[in-house]
Every structure is written in structure tokens, then in C-alpha cells.
Amino acid sequence: METYTVEYEGQILVIEVYSRERIEELKERVRAGNRILNEAWNAIIKIDLKSKQWADAVQQWHLQNVKLSAYCDQLKGFGFGDCLYIKDGKKYKTCLSDPLGCRVCPSSIAYWETEWMKL
């Protein structure tokens, strides 16, 4: 498995390199990462803001956002620049369906703006 590293605030993150042949797997990894980060945030907001546990959890959450962004950048590098939640030409999940939306998104189209304007 080929990897590269990304540095963020003194932390070294190891990023797996995906091939174009594994683009569907990479898309699923980014979808899952968005879901996991949103679930983690929902847990973090229940922690006492003044605690070390909260500070540690937020730091870890930011690290994982950076890592997920690197995977999203790989999608863009393969020329994929659309929403991860489109199937057969139709969005099956809106950008605003979760209060946090997607943490990372490869889309060059700002679908969330259109959704926001319809509210």
C-alpha cells in the first residue's frame, strides 16, 4: 500500500494513496468519513467545554477533518468534482439534511447554496 504524510499542527497523518481503479471505494471512504465526523461532533458538543477531554476530542476531530480532506483531494485529482450523494443523475441526500452537512465535498458546484436559498 502506497502512502504519503500530511503535517497538521505538529501531528503527522498517514494518507493511503488510492488508484483510479479504486475511485468508488475512495468515494465510499469519504462518505463514511463525513458520517463519522458528524457523529463525533454530536458527541463532542455534549462534553464540558472547559475540560481536557473536550480539547482533546476537538483536536482529534480537526486532525480527522484534515485527513478526510486529503482523501477528498484525491477524488478531485482523478477529475471527480461532483456531489458524493448523486445516483442516476439525482441527489439522494441534501447538503443541509444534517445540521453539519458534509465535512468535505469534492463538488465544484455549490449545491448547498441552492438548498439554502430554497429555505
What does the pLDDT look like over 25-74, one tens digit per residue? 999 999 999 999 999 999 999 999 999 999 999 999 999 999 999 999 99
AA letter at 99: P
Q: Kindly state the cell numbers that stand for 34.
A: 463525513
Report the candidate in 39, 38, 40 with the shortest Cα–Cα distance to residue 103.
Answer: 38
pLDDT of residue 57: 98
pLDDT of residue 97: 79
Count CB neighbours of 74 within 10 A: 21
Mean pLDDT, the chain, whole residue set: 94
Cα three-residue angle 74-6-70, rounded to 5 degrees: 25
CA 100 to each of CA 2, 21, 33, 87: distance values in angstroms, whole numbers, following the listed order: 32, 30, 13, 22
Task: Considering only residues 77 and 99, tell me which one the structure prediction assigns the higher pLDDT.
Answer: 77
Q: What is the DSSP letter of 22?
A: G
Cα 118 to chain center, whole Å?
24
pLDDT of residue 48: 97
